[in-house]
Amino acid sequence: LQKLLGTINLVCPYLGITNAEFSPLFDLLKDDTALLSPRQLTPEAEEAVRKTEKALTQRKAYRQHIGHPFLLFIFVTLCQTYGLLGQWIPSLSNPLVIL
């Protein structure tokens, strides 16, 4: 669980999920510090998983589009700052191309 949450936490800004929305899953790590201890999802944690699944299925990563400049997008949140390399192509249905 800890490794999965760490991996998903890296892509949360790209998925449009805030740390506050993701916190029910992190709360599962608070009770018992043993990595192999059994855990059970709360209804709030299940909702966070559903929201993450939906966001993952709706987003895509792309290859570069030749002829368009690379941009560095900076996201500043309460807890962390993230950088995202991409391209902005207004003619696409989703103009933000994540590389």
Strand order in the sheet with 81-88: 71-76, 81-88, 96-98
In angstroms, rounded to a whole number, what is the distance separating the alpha carbons of residues 30 and 10? Answer: 20
For the domain covering 1-59, report its CATH number. Answer: 3.30.70
Predicted confidence at residue 54, as pLDDT, reads: 87
The reported pLDDT for the residue numbered 61 is 64
Interval 22-80: pLDDT, tens: 888 888 888 777 767 777 888 998 998 898 888 888 776 667 888 999 999 888 878 77
Segments making up each domain of the chain, as ranges: 1-59, 60-99
